[in-house]
Amino acid sequence: MKLALRYLGLLSVLAISIGPFLWQFMTSIKGPGEDVFVPDFIPDDPTFSNYAAVADVVPVWTFALNSLGVASVNVVTNCLGAAMAGYALARLKFRGRRLAAVIFASSILVPFEAILISLFLVMRGLGLTNTLTGVVLPGSIAALNVLLLRNAFLALPAEVEEAAIIDGANAWQRFTRLALPSVKGTLVVVALFSFMFSWDDFLWPLVVLSDQEKYTLTIGLAYLQGTFVQNQRLVAAGTIIAVLPLILLFLLLQKHFFRGVGEGAIKG
């Protein structure tokens, strides 16, 4: 009895979390002339032509390639940069270390919208508006990732490192040979977070970019929402296309992901 109740609970949570997504998918395979807004879950005339139509309406592959480029660079810079910063904050002794950590933490609290305009002016000053570099730069080393990695490095017993120092290892060697391999899980989390963040980002690329050829997928798909006409089926198909890589990535890295979340949570 108890077991049945438990499963019932789990199933209802499953329905709540997956339901909207399934709904969107069902909408995306509905044929023309079917009710999109009325609760009518199963399409009468299922078709995948909406997906082909999305590619006809907007150059989806160009957009996806731009997004992929931006996201990949973001993953690399975040893993590398945040790991180095996190290691310095956790393990190296220098004046103002505490203060630096606090500044990193508090910068998470500033909403992006508040600094949007000034950030744009900076990019303009650097001559990076309307370039993909301009899109990548502000998010290239996220404060959240730095803190995640700092905590992960703190979890590594100090004795291990002291032993390495006695053996004559310098800071770089300790970082690359000892510290990095022990936080693989958190690195995967950081990679996933930064990929997701940059893949989903809408506002910043929109403000920075002006040429359609440079658009990322999220902005490109906004074209499906026309001023006067919009086809809900195409919008649904577009969102499914946009979210698919994220799901695949998550499934691939799932094992590391959950290990990493636990890893960062234990403080040394």
Partner 1 sequence: MKRRTFLAGLAAVPVAGCGLSGTSSTSSAGNGQVTGEITFQTWSLKPKYTDYVNGVIDAFQKQHAGTTVKWVDQPADGYLAKVMADASAGSLPDVINVPPDLSFPLAKAGQLVNLDESLKDARSEYLGNAWQAFEIPGKGGCYGFPWYLNTGPIFYNKALFRQAGLDPDKPPTNFKELEEQALKLAEKKIAMLGQTPSIADFGLYGVKLFENDKFTFNEPKGVEFVQTYKRMYDAGALIPEALTQNYTGAGAKFMAQQTALSPGSAYDLGKFKTDAPSLYANIGITKPITNTGSANMFLHGVSVPKSSKNQATALAFGRFVTNAENQVKFAKLASIFPSTSKGGDDPYFTTEDGTDEARVRVAAAKQLKTAVNYTPVQFSDQMREALLQQLADAMLGKKSAKQALDDAVNECNRLLK
- What's the min distance (Å) between Cβ of 207 and partner 1? 5
Q: Is 225 in the site for partner 1 (CB under 8 A)?
A: yes
> CB burial class (10 A; 0-12, 13-18, 19+) of residue 7?
exposed
Residue 50 found at the interface with partner 1 (CB under 8 A): no
Alpha-helical runs (H) found in 58-111: 60-91, 97-107
List, in order, residues 6 or more apart from 254 with CB less than 8 Å away.
none
Q: Is 226 in the site for partner 1 (CB under 8 A)?
A: yes
- Quick check: 116 binds partner 1 (CB under 8 A)? yes
Query: CB of residue 42 vs partner 1: minimum separation in angstroms?
Result: 15
Work out how close the CB of 90 gets to partner 1 at its nearest, in angstroms, rounded to a whole number.
34
Give the nearest distance from C-beta 134 to partner 1 in angstroms. 12
Residues 6+ apart with CB under 8 A from 257: 188, 189, 192, 250
Report in angstroms how near the CB of residue 18 gets to partner 1 at its nearest.
21
Q: How many residues contact partner 1, by CB under 8 A? A: 37
Least separation in angstroms between residue 95's CB and partner 1 is 36
> What is the Cα–Cα distance from 253 to 194, expressed in whole angstroms?
14
**Which bin fits 140, alpha (ψ -120 to 50), beta or left (φ > 0)?**
alpha
- Give Dmax (Cα) for the chain: 75
The smaller minimum CB distance to partner 1, of residues 57 and 155, is found at 57
Smallest distance from partner 1 to CB 125, Å:
9
Q: By CB under 8 A, what part of segment 147-166 binds partner 1? A: none
> Per the structure block, which two tokens stand in for 119?
């950030």
Question: Which residues on adjacent β-strands are paired with residue 230?
Answer: 225
* Shortest Å, Cβ 105 to partner 1: 22
If one asks whether residue 12 binds partner 1 (CB under 8 A), the answer comes out as: no
Kindly list the distances between the CA atom of residue 241 and the CA atoms of 23, 96, 227, 236, in Å, as whole numbers in the listed order: 15, 46, 22, 9
Q: Is 107 in the site for partner 1 (CB under 8 A)?
A: no
Of the residues 9, 19, 20, 32, which one makes contact with partner 1 according to CB under 8 A: 32
If you ran DSSP here, which 8-state letter would residue 30 be given?
Answer: P
**Using CB under 8 A, which of 154, 196, 222, 253 touches partner 1?**
222
Q: Does 223 participate in binding partner 1 (rule CB under 8 A)?
A: yes
Binding characters for partner 1, 178-207, by CB under 8 A (x = yes): ------------------------xx--xx
Report which secondary-structure segment, H or E, holds 23.
Answer: helix 2-28
Residue 67 vs residues 74, 211, 263: alpha-carbon distances, Å: 10, 14, 30
Residue closer to partner 1, measured from CB, 130 or 133: 130
Residues that bind partner 1 (CB under 8 A): 32-39, 57-58, 111, 113-114, 116-117, 120-121, 124, 129, 202-203, 206-207, 210-212, 219, 222-223, 225-232
